[in-house]
Copies of this chain bind each other. A is one copy, B any other.
């Protein structure tokens, strides 16, 4: 029986990945609601598909985006992502959503990019300085946004949002993938685990070793 359980656990783990790399803008059926795996497990966006006859409205529903999120953290910002992880009906449908909250003057979603999604942001409240950088050459395209303004951040380009207003700010963003992914530049470069060899970073960023050491401490790469 041990062996059986082991194999089963293996199977279930494996299953949790089985659709992970399946994607297309033209899904093969009406929808495919993701379901939780029965055993405690792993993955990023790996969910199974629910029997469509059992799917209910709740599988396509997510409440609470009207509630301000806590922005009392170092960056003064909070991103509530509604992707396939929290709204299983999004599975295979190629879109997701986020609510962005910013603390008054200075709340920041720092430079980052989404490897799998374009972002279209609508500002509901406050005043944001936003921008993205093109790949070659590095042109900054930036704008100050007021309520009702919409701005687009193309897929794969580094961008940021910065609250320059005196009140908190709130925005809603659509993202063109059910699992857009995010790479926070500072965390990826200076906070990886294990750390990137500091020689690479001193040369690549033209900084002294002690600044690199400081950055790797700040972002958690070294201990």
Contact = CB atoms under 8 A, between A and B. Distances in A.
Interface string A32-48: 10010010001111101
B183 A158 contact: yes
A209 interface: no
Interface residues of A, number: 141
- This chain's copy number in the assembly: 6
Nearest to A107: B203
Nearest to A5: B4
B63 A148 contact: yes
Nearest to A208: B211
A118 interface: yes
Interface string A82-96: 100001011111111
A115 B143 CA distance: 23
Report which residue of A8, A120, A151 has the largest number of chain B beta carbons within 10 angstroms of its beta carbon.
A120
Contact of A172 (B35, B64, B172): B172
A192 interface: yes
A49 B152 contact: no
B38 A28 contact: no
Given A17-B32, A95-B174, A150 B63 contact: yes
A166 interface: no
A9 to B, nearest CB: 9
11 contacts: A8-B8, A19-B22, A29-B179, A56-B141, A58-B143, A95-B95, A95-B120, A113-B156, A133-B188, A156-B183, A211-B211
Interface of A: 1, 4-5, 7-8, 10-15, 17-32, 35, 38, 42-46, 48-53, 55-58, 60-67, 74-75, 82, 87, 89-97, 106, 108, 110-111, 113, 115-118, 120, 122, 124, 129, 131, 133-143, 146-158, 160, 162, 172, 174-179, 181-197, 199-201, 203-207, 211, 215, 218-219
